[in-house]
Structure 1
Amino acid sequence: MKKMLILELICCLAFAKAVTAQQPNSVSQITGQELLNKVIAFHDPANKWPSFKGTFTILLESPKMQPRKSTVTLNLPEEYFKLVENRNGKISTKEVSEECCILSDKDMPPTKTALDDDVCKRALMLKNYYTYLYGLPMKLRDPGTIINPIVLIKNFKGKEYLTLRVTYNEEVGSDNWEFYFNPKTYAMEAYRFFKGDDRSTGEYILLTGLKVINGIKMPENRAWYYNKDNGYLGTDKLIH
């Protein structure tokens, strides 16, 4: 009888361990929207982002290419974007306004094109790219963003985070995102995205340091890695 009780106890402990292994993440009491509000209050305490007008410079360092310096100008109320890129002395400029694009580089004079022109597509893509990345986490309030109401307490790269899972309406995008926030300060410290449900696709980004640009606390360094093999891609450094 005693042996049977011991055997049953061992089986129960083994089952409990198996269940724990299948559910490695616990759930926070805070909701997704509540977490987002706290995070934005940390990064944009005076609600400056909707009326943001400013210029900042980013240095990209990558093992596979020469350094690139990018100076970005954003005027959100007027929907204006300007990007000046300098790589090894070769300078190119892209401007996007509400009416048109203006493109130029070292070897050609400025060219003005309509927004729906093919040559303007990359300029528009870069406008969306820089506005999204340097507007995070505030951009998570944009229409079409789906915030998962359940916040996970998750270990990522050796640190415990409040984890916000985000998807988008079909017309906005198909990537799945996870954002990792410091549970004490609510600072955004990492994020990653996947192509659909395949978690070996996409990339993750580790954030270090903060710089205040026009009242907004932006991550100073963004180090990019592949999800599939942790391969290092490069680091964007916010200079000023």
Structure 2
Amino acid sequence: MRKIFVALLFCASIGVNAQDLSAEQVLENTIAYHDPNNNWETFNEEFTVVMSTPNASKRTSKIKIDLPAEYFNVTATRDTVTTQYTINKDTCSMVYNGTVLDSIEAKGKNMSCDRANLYKNYYTYLYGLPMKLNDPGTNLSQNVEKKTFKGKDYLVLKVTYDEAVGSDVWYFYFNPKTYAMEVYQFFKTDENGKEQPDTGEYILLSEEAIVNGIKMPKVRAWYYNKDDKYLGTDTLVDK
């Protein structure tokens, strides 16, 4: 009987310890889950994302990210319009329905190199999570919160960024058993840097796709924090 009691006590202590990890350990565990072979640092792959939004036609984006070569390309098609943005190191180029545009022509199509960099940062950040949380300028709170969100229990990490990187406050929700990233959420801040609870969005992640050996969320569904209004869904699809 004593051996059984000790065994049960040992198992219970393992469970407690698993829930009392530091923020850095939780981040290490979720990166180990999503990128077990450390492939993100040398990521060089193409993938396709279909965006569905209410009252609008779908947009299909073919994305190429080559981190070692500092190369990014997104070719997006909606209805009869196809736009292409390319960042090759410090060089930006834009194409509209097969025609290469100069900066003046691009402006007339509501295209710009600023928008190209916006897309680069957007796709690289979202599809590089949680590995991107190790980037310079990222400030990881030392507290690991335990929250219930939409009826599920999570370990939650809070992240802020240096002023040069961004002003939003982000929360990342991880499965407490597998450390899979299942939700993230962000809030805007006011002029004093205070978090504004009625701003921002939350993103529900479901299913998985393997891209370059990395487990990426296949489906991202976006909602407003304020009223849970549905905004749209990004889905990774076969090439």
Interval containing the TM-score (normalised by the shorter chain): 0.7 to 0.9
Matches within 5 A, 1:104-115: 104-106=95-97, 109-111=99-101
Residue number among 71, 84, 102 corresponding to 2:62 in the alignment: 71
SS at match of 2:170: strand
The aligned counterpart of 2:76 is 85
RMSD: 1.6
Residue number among 81, 97, 102 corresponding to 2:88 in the alignment: 97
The aligned counterpart of 2:182 is 189
Q: Compute the displacement of 1:179 (Å).
A: 0.4
The aligned counterpart of 2:143 is 150
The aligned counterpart of 2:44 is 53
**d(CA) in 2 for partners of 1:178, 1:148:** 10
Q: Which runs of 5+ in 1 are unaligned?
A: 1-27
Q: Does 1:238 align with 2:236?
A: yes
Q: Percent identity?
A: 49
Supply the AA of the counterpart residue of 1:219: P
Q: Compute the displacement of 1:112 (Å).
A: 5.7
The aligned counterpart of 1:171 is 164
The aligned counterpart of 1:139 is 132
Contact 1:100 / 1:112 at 8 angstroms: preserved in 2?
no
Q: Compute the displacement of 1:99 (Å).
A: 2.9
Q: Which runs of 4+ in 1 moved over 4 A?
A: none
Q: Compute the displacement of 1:29 (Å).
A: 1.4
* Greater alpha carbon shift after TM alignment, 46-55 vs 117-126: 117-126
Looking at CA atoms only, which structure, 1 or 2, has the larger radius of gyration? 1
**d(CA) in 2 for partners of 1:217, 1:68:** 23
Supply the AA of the counterpart residue of 2:99: P
Q: Does 1:62 align with 2:53?
A: yes
Q: Deviations over 1:1-35 (max 9, x none)?
A: xxxxxxxxxxxxxxxxxxxxxxxxxxx51111110
**d(CA) in 2 for partners of 1:142, 1:99:** 20
Higher strand content, 1 or 2 = 1
Q: Compute the displacement of 1:64 (Å).
A: 2.8
Q: Compute the displacement of 1:102 (Å).
A: 1.0
Q: Compute the displacement of 1:235 (Å).
A: 0.4
* Greater alpha carbon shift after TM alignment, 94-103 vs 34-43: 94-103
**d(CA) in 2 for partners of 1:199, 1:157:** 17
**d(CA) in 2 for partners of 1:206, 1:64:** 21
**d(CA) in 1 for partners of 2:208, 2:80:** 28
Q: Which runs of 5+ in 2 are unaligned?
A: 1-18, 190-194
Given the two structures, how large is their TM-score scaled by the length of structure 2?
Answer: 0.85
**d(CA) in 1 for partners of 2:74, 2:83:** 8
The aligned counterpart of 2:210 is 212
Supply the AA of the counterpart residue of 1:111: L
Contact 1:101 / 1:112 at 8 angstroms: preserved in 2?
no
**d(CA) in 1 for partners of 2:157, 2:100:** 43
* Greater alpha carbon shift after TM alignment, 37-46 vs 64-73: 64-73
